[in-house]
Structure 1
Amino acid sequence: MQYIDNIIFVLILGFAGWFFSKNVKKLIRNIKLGKPLNRFDRPADRWNTMFRVALGQGKMGVRPIPAILHGFVYVGFLLINIEVMEILIDGIFGTHRVLSFLGGFYTGMIGFFEFLAFMVLVSCIIFLIRRNIVKVKRFLNPEMKGWPKSDANYILYMEVAFMVALLMMNGADAALQKLGAEGYTQTGSFLMSGWLTEPLLSGLSESTLIIIERVCWWFHIIGILFFLNYLYYSKHLHIILAFPNTYFSKLEPKGEFNNLQSVTNEVKLMMDPNADPFAAPAEGTEMADPGTFGAKDIFDLNQVQLLNAYTCTECGRCTSECPANITGKKLSPRKIMMDTRDRLEDVSKIIDEKGKWEDDGKKLVHDYISAEELWACTTCNACTQACPVNIDPLSIIVDLRRYLVMEESAAPQELNLMMANIENNSAPWQFNQQDRLNWAKD
């Protein structure tokens, strides 16, 4: 019976690990629904980008106050996990503060973790105030109503609860040490809980303190395991995906557009004087499928674009910098990413239910993202510049617009006129080719 706690803990840990791995497999499967894209070139530049942007938070400093607060949450998340590792070892083997043999260094280390936990607590409370009381404008866009707003608040509530549990656990532990309770290794009071939570617990009986310490211990570790598995359903998936997303991000200049290979092949065919565009395929071969021009659904996007959709933090920096959105247009780059992810998840549910993809009669363009949104984009790249994890909404917008133009012939009248002028006059303006050099006569 003395090992029942350890058995329960191992079962919970095993279930959490299994469920997390199941969601990771689903995530990888969903991203692979997109077209392969070779982004393994220039590895040195890619590692540098990942360390600078994801690990070093290099693009957060544009807004200093949120950057500092997010920095505490980020560093706290990374380092407090060292104490979580100790809790996992204690839970599996039935030990208590297994690293306490480090003596004074251990006490100082836990004190530093507590300082980070306190700053995470303060930062999360400020974030809640910014979202729900101050109501920062970029958190009030239409796409942030409902689940996205609740999701952001749930995460902050959880982080506040975890940090309070950690400080209460350590405060009760220190109080039990002073009472000489059996099994509680002497480490001394800790930096933050020594004055924040330990005094609140003074005067309580040993049995009450043990209950508080154990409840907080279980709540903290089970809460973290729950949080780990909640990530897949949350915008906080960027905690994990920010690293691969920045590694595979675009290294070419932001204003450089890619050429569609299918269009390039057609142009080469037209320019080849020896080519016969009406020639039948050679015997034993089939006519190559040119595929879709542009993208109408997530299957036409590439895997990095789908990774972008899952990585979106919904912070709204892209939308707050978008000139189209600022001037009242319908376009919101954040919504483009959220709609792409929603479509991915809807496709994923069909695959899960039926074992394979079966067309549901919907597509990303029109059913999730409207043509009005797409044509409002000025292709200025402000959104990609503003994104703290190098997400590229513009690449999705351009691919969807390519589909509208080349597959549906659904470009706005202004663009149709320009393209007709280029075709007929070799210039975007509506005048005769013979008049093109009139401006130089004098």
Structure 2
Amino acid sequence: MEYIPNILFAILLIVGVGYFAKNVKKLTRNIKLGKDVDRSDNKSERWKNMAMIALGQSKMVKRPIAGFLHIIVYVGFIIINLEVLEIIIDGLFGTHRVFTKVLPDSVYGFLIGSFEILAVLVLITVIIFWLRRNVIKLKRFLSAEMKGWPKSDGNIILYFEVVLMTLFLVMNATDAEFQAMGSGNIISKHIAGLFGSGEHLHIIERAAWWLHIAGILVFLNYLYYSKHLHILLAFPNTWYANLKPKGQFVNDASVTKEVKLMMDPNADPFAAPAEGEDEGEPEKFGASDVQDLNWVQLMNSYTCTECGRCTSECPANLTGKKLSPRKIMMDTRDRLEEVGKNIDANNGTFVDDGKSLLNDYITTEELWACTSCNACVEACPVNIDPLSIIMEMRKYLVMEQSAAPTELNVMMGNIENNGAPWPYNQMDRLNWKDEN
């Protein structure tokens, strides 16, 4: 009978971690549906980006208030959960605060005292975040794409953090042995009196202990369904981010080949392929669905924090256009999830569902509203690149469907016929020099 709690704890831990591992496998599968792209160059710069942006939160603090509050939650939540290691050991082996046996009281007290202070700071910060979303109602949290589940998800995470921090403090406040130490109970000693004294304290402490670890495991598995998946993906996302100068677009190899043929006066565009060279069927230009994007772009969609900084900086959005870079990422993630569920339902094979990212999720009006200024890319605190997805879908519209807006078709026709975007004869191109 004395081992039943340990067995129950082991089962809880195995189920929680096992379900999380299953979701990670599904997440990895979905990301790998994207095309391959090599982002292994300049490793030193990539490690630096990850350290500064994902770990150091350097882009978050560009908006000082939100950045400072986020750092409190980020640091507090991560450091406080270091005590999960002690809980796991205690749960599996039936010990109680095992680290008090291996660490000096002063060291253990310093650690737990720091955790308690951070827990209070996290509680205060989370309440401020809740007020910003639900009372002050900041404009970037009120966009059309933030209604329904995205709004609920943002609040659910805040409630999770309030509950977990509260349980941590209650667990400490009702632990008679810990309170008797008189070290580390910086905050909990002030609330211990609320629970009185007697045998019931042990029941409350055990209940808070079990609920705390269960809550952490539930939170861990909730991440897959939440925008807070960025807690895990921000690190690889910043490492694999595009290091090329903003505004430098990737040249399509097949298009580059055609241009070189056009520029070479000795080239024969009708010549047969060289021996051993099989051109095969030309690849699809651009992207109309998630499988046409590369895997980094798909990882970007899962990493999106839905903070709205990209949309709040977007000049097209600010002038009333329908484009929202945040919505582009959310739509890409939603479509990718739909494709993943399709694969799960059809024994690992995708069955055409008659839908696509283009039109069913993202409209051409949104795509053509983009000015390609890179403001969204610069604003993102975790180096997400909505512009690359927009440009891939534009490429599909132009090169596969010839569906560019009239103004662009006129310009491209002028370039083809006149060698310039303007509608005049090539012989008149230098007339401007005679005007002075």
How high is the TM-score relative to the length of structure 2? 0.96
RMSD over equivalenced CA pairs, Å: 1.6
Report the CA distance shift for 1:358/1:192 in structure 2 as closer, same or farther (over 3 A): same
Instruction: Tell me, yes or no, if structure 1 residue 290 matches structure 2 residue 282.
Output: yes
Q: Could you tell me which residue of structure 2 aligns to residue 394 of structure 1?
A: 387
Query: Which amino acid in structure 1 is aligned with residue 404 of structure 2?
Result: A
Structure 2 runs not aligned, ≥5 long: none
Structure 1 runs not aligned, ≥5 long: 179-185
Contact persistence 2:111–2:184 (CA under 8 A): no
Query: For residues 303-322 of structure 1, what are the structure 2 equivalents within 5 Å?
Result: 303-322=295-314
* Matched residues, number: 432
Q: 1:283: how far off?
A: 8.0
Contact persistence 1:175–1:198 (CA under 8 A): no
Contact persistence 2:112–2:184 (CA under 8 A): no
Q: In structure 2, what is the Cα distance between the partners aligned to 1:110 and 1:272?
A: 72
Q: In structure 2, what is the Cα distance between the partners aligned to 1:174 and 1:71?
A: 32
Q: Could you tell me which residue of structure 2 aligns to residue 60 of structure 1?
A: 60
Q: 1:199: how far off?
A: 2.2
Q: Could you tell me which residue of structure 2 aligns to residue 89 of structure 1?
A: 89
Q: In structure 2, what is the Cα distance between the partners aligned to 1:261 and 1:16?
A: 46
Q: Could you tell me which residue of structure 2 aligns to residue 193 of structure 1?
A: 188
Q: 1:330: how far off?
A: 0.2
Instruction: Tell me, yes or no, if structure 1 residue 426 matches structure 2 residue 419.
Output: yes
Aligned counterpart in structure 2 of residue 149 of structure 1, from 148, 151, 169:
151
Q: In structure 2, what is the Cα distance between the partners aligned to 1:388 and 1:192?
A: 33
Q: 1:268: how far off?
A: 3.0
Q: 1:438: how far off?
A: 1.1
Q: In structure 2, what is the Cα distance between the partners aligned to 1:350 and 1:280?
A: 42
Q: In structure 2, what is the Cα distance between the partners aligned to 1:276 and 1:306?
A: 39
Q: 1:174: how far off?
A: 4.0
Instruction: Tell me, yes or no, if structure 1 residue 327 matches structure 2 residue 322.
Output: no
Q: In structure 2, what is the Cα distance between the partners aligned to 1:288 and 1:366?
A: 29
Q: In structure 1, what is the Cα distance between the partners aligned to 2:142 and 2:7?
A: 46
Query: Which amino acid in structure 2 is aligned with residue 172 of structure 1?
Result: T
Aligned counterpart in structure 2 of residue 159 of structure 1, from 148, 158, 161:
161
Aligned counterpart in structure 2 of residue 130 of structure 1, from 112, 129, 132:
132
Between stretches 260-269 and 345-354, larger displacement belongs to 260-269
C-alpha distance after superposition, 1:119-168 (max 9, x if no partner): 11111111111101110100000000000000111010010000000000
Partner of 1:390: helix, strand, or coil?
coil
Q: 1:82: how far off?
A: 1.3
Query: For residues 241-252 of structure 1, what are the structure 2 equivalents within 5 Å?
Result: 241-252=233-244
Q: 1:266: how far off?
A: 2.4
Q: In structure 2, what is the Cα distance between the partners aligned to 1:25 and 1:274?
A: 53
Aligned counterpart in structure 2 of residue 440 of structure 1, from 424, 429, 433:
433
Q: In structure 2, what is the Cα distance between the partners aligned to 1:200 and 1:131?
A: 31
Query: For residues 113-124 of structure 1, what are the structure 2 equivalents within 5 Å?
Result: 113-124=115-126
Q: 1:264: how far off?
A: 1.3
Report the CA distance shift for 1:299/1:43 in structure 2 as closer, same or farther (over 3 A): same
Between stretches 284-293 and 345-354, larger displacement belongs to 284-293
Contact persistence 1:175–1:201 (CA under 8 A): no
Q: In structure 2, what is the Cα distance between the partners aligned to 1:357 and 1:250?
A: 29
Contact persistence 1:174–1:194 (CA under 8 A): no
How high is the TM-score relative to the length of structure 1? 0.95
Q: Could you tell me which residue of structure 2 aligns to residue 410 of structure 1?
A: 403
Q: 1:98: how far off?
A: 0.5
Query: Which amino acid in structure 1 is aligned with residue 195 of structure 2?
Result: L
Q: 1:270: how far off?
A: 3.8
Report the CA distance shift for 1:368/1:140 in structure 2 as closer, same or farther (over 3 A): same
Aligned counterpart in structure 1 of residue 113 of structure 2, from 111, 114, 129:
111
C-alpha distance after superposition, 1:222-259 (max 9, x if no partner): 00001101101100000000000000111111111111
Q: 1:277: how far off?
A: 4.0
Q: In structure 1, what is the Cα distance between the partners aligned to 2:27 and 2:253?
A: 28
Q: 1:276: how far off?
A: 4.7
Q: In structure 2, what is the Cα distance between the partners aligned to 1:145 and 1:210?
A: 43
Q: Could you tell me which residue of structure 1 aligns to residue 360 of structure 2?
A: 367
Contact persistence 2:310–2:326 (CA under 8 A): yes
Q: 1:269: how far off?
A: 3.8
Q: In structure 2, what is the Cα distance between the partners aligned to 1:156 and 1:191?
A: 24
